[in-house]
Chain A
Amino acid sequence: MKVIVPTNNKGGVGKTSIATIIADYCSRILHKKTLVIDLDSQCNFSQRLLRMEVDPSFPDGHIPPIHPDYEDGEDWDGRSSIADIFLNPEKGIVPYPTLNEYLDIAPAHAANLKAVELVRRDDVLPLVHNRFRDFLALPDVREAYDVVVIDTAPSKGPLTISAIRAATDVIIPAIMEDKSIRGVYGMLQLWMQESLQREEDNKLNLVGILPNMFDARTSLHNDLYHSLLENSEIAQYVMPHKLARRINFAENDCDNASPKSIFDLSKSNQARQEALKVCEYIAGSVFNG
């Protein structure tokens, strides 16, 4: 089972959009049984696939809806989120189905994920960092899914670290701008620290740095992109395909977008073509080594 994590501690670089595209590609195009996990308390990924509800006790946050398989009288409240593996491990997780038969989601829970991030330092290793990895190592999970795609928050907190701890493959989306590239540096540090702890047969693959929202009309984006390529140490990790700043990607992020997937757009659509090239490259690195 592959665990793919697009991550950058700089916000707004397109982690959720890229996680969406990768999950769509794996499920719709490759027909791999895919689980998406939303570890971001903003719940953007969850809102795209489920009708998340406003949390009455936490107005800025959202909670998962009642599970479609819940029946009255069962000994749980009918709502399941990924936060439960940290806060209520005995409860277990019940992934939600989506309109895509190959795609399930373990949604976020805004308040509970924020509570997980506040765990005490002495407890963070057993309760957070390793708990998520251990969950994904469960035979039930590994048998049910071929691919897991995790959307992370823009931070280097316990949840992001737990995602990287569980990952088999890491992608670093970046806008070719100063702050975002500094975020790349931060993520590479996390990648290296994690690599130092991995056993030989469980290496953490760095798929690459994915230039996102690229505006070829600007000197800034072009110059910074070429600056990365001029650094011989990092150049091999800059992906050869970029995702341009296109309205189609933003439209695809809407809850009620139609069509639902970028891959349902016409074959001549440039956004679709770019997404396809990027995903083919990522799939080559992830599934073929």
Chain B
Amino acid sequence: MAKKRFGISADVNQGLTDIMQMEREHDSVYRNAIVPLARIQLDSENPRKHHITIKDLDTGLKKNDPLFADKQKEYDGLVDLSNSIKQEGLIHPIILYKDGTDYRLVAGERRYLASLIAQKKSIDARVFQTKPKGFHLKLVQWMENESRQDLPLLNRLENVQALMDVYQKEQGAEKLTALKLSEVLCVSRQTAQYFVSILKNTFVMDAVRVGKVKTLQLARELTRVNSEKELDDALNGEGLPKKQKKVKQIAVKASRAGRQRTKVALGTTKKTAVAKTIVQSVLHRPEYASEKDTFSDINWADFDSTTKAFANLVKLIEKKVK
């Protein structure tokens, strides 16, 4: 009788392998936790701000509050999210770091506020093992905020500015170029360049702040403006300043493109009669009359003969001119 053979079933074996690999590869920068809401504090340094406060949630919105309209709008949005959380739970954990016995919010303010409205006692979170610092903290906030489709343009730009400022502070002399910025933000180089251009243009940034410009595309197009008037004209449909200056600059650049010329190219022609005309014209000049015999036996119907004759004429003239 054949000897019995046994083995662990393939699905269990694979499951064992997967678990051990997952545990080994686990990035220990974060840990997963369920954190009591009462122990979470907002991070005042996060550019993503709501007008509505926790006190507003406790006491209700006041109609005589100058920000009532904004807060009401925010509250309505939060109620929608809180209903979703009640029904489906929280899909994306918020991000915290431990601060003493409490926690500070790195990202996820909306989910936090919505969970309070949903009267939850605790919330799923990813907690930094150590307090994230400077650039890393800003980068996490950027990545978290970018996932929000409703993030206003101003907040987006302020996030980028905050990142650039912290980077400059930490790296000192090294500038955050558009290329480096694109790597950091995981956006295209073009998008990174747009951010840099927009942030440099104070007129456009002012317009974004007051809500005149709300999309990245429009802001990018407006980076050509050099004054408030040009901005207003553009927004009023009178067109953007023409690109003339830029075209001229490109043309000037193009003419100087390539190496400096050291010789004159005399062109080419498919008509040997052109070369014959030039040669004969030169030989009619008094100072070249003595050379006529040198060019008497040229076969002007033959390209090689004509080319050689023309080259000899150039050499002759080079000798005579100073």
Q: Interface of A with B (CB < 8 Å)?
A: 125-126, 178, 181-182, 184-185, 188-189, 191-192, 195-200, 219-220, 223-224, 227-228, 231, 233-234, 237
Contact = CB atoms under 8 A, between A and B. Distances in A.
B7 A233 contact: no
Contacts of A237: 20
A191 B3 CA distance: 37
A224 B7 contact: yes
Given A125-B122, A196-B31, A233 B16 contact: yes
Given A197-B33, A234-B16, A181 B8 contact: yes
Contacts of A126: 121-122
B33 A233 contact: no
Given A195-B26, A200-B28, A184 B16 contact: yes
6 contacts: A191-B23, A196-B26, A196-B32, A220-B4, A220-B6, A234-B20
B265 to A, nearest CB: 71
Given A185-B12, A195-B26, A196-B26, A223 B5 contact: yes
A233 B9 contact: no
A182 B12 contact: yes
B15 A185 contact: yes
B9 A178 contact: yes
Interface residues of B, number: 27
Contact of A125 (B9, B23, B26, B34): B34
A219 B32 contact: no
A181 B15 CA distance: 11
A233 B31 contact: no
A224 B8 contact: yes
A199 B129 contact: yes
A86 B4 CA distance: 49
B115 to A, nearest CB: 14
A191 B254 CA distance: 66
Nearest to B5: A223
A228 B8 contact: yes
Contacts of B13: 227, 231
Contacts of B3: 219
Contacts of B4: 219-220
Given A125-B122, A200-B28, A234 B17 contact: yes
A231 B17 contact: yes
B138 to A, nearest CB: 23
A189 B20 CA distance: 9
Given A185-B15, A192-B23, A219-B3, A197 B8 contact: no
Contacts of B33: 197
A196 to B, nearest CB: 5
Contacts of B294: none
In the A-B complex, list the 3 residue pairs whose CB atoms are closest, starting with the nearest: A233-B20, A223-B6, A227-B8
B18 to A, nearest CB: 8
Contact of B17 (A192, A199, A220, A233): A233
B281 interface: no
Contacts of A219: 3-6
Contacts of B15: 185
Interface in B185-207: none
Contact of A192 (B5, B22, B34): B22
B87 interface: no
B264 interface: no
A191 B33 CA distance: 15
B86 to A, nearest CB: 12
Contacts of A192: 19, 22-23
A185 B16 contact: yes
Contact of B16 (A197, A220, A231): A231
Contacts of B21: 233
Contacts of B122: 125-126
A198 B20 contact: no
Contacts of A227: 6-8, 13
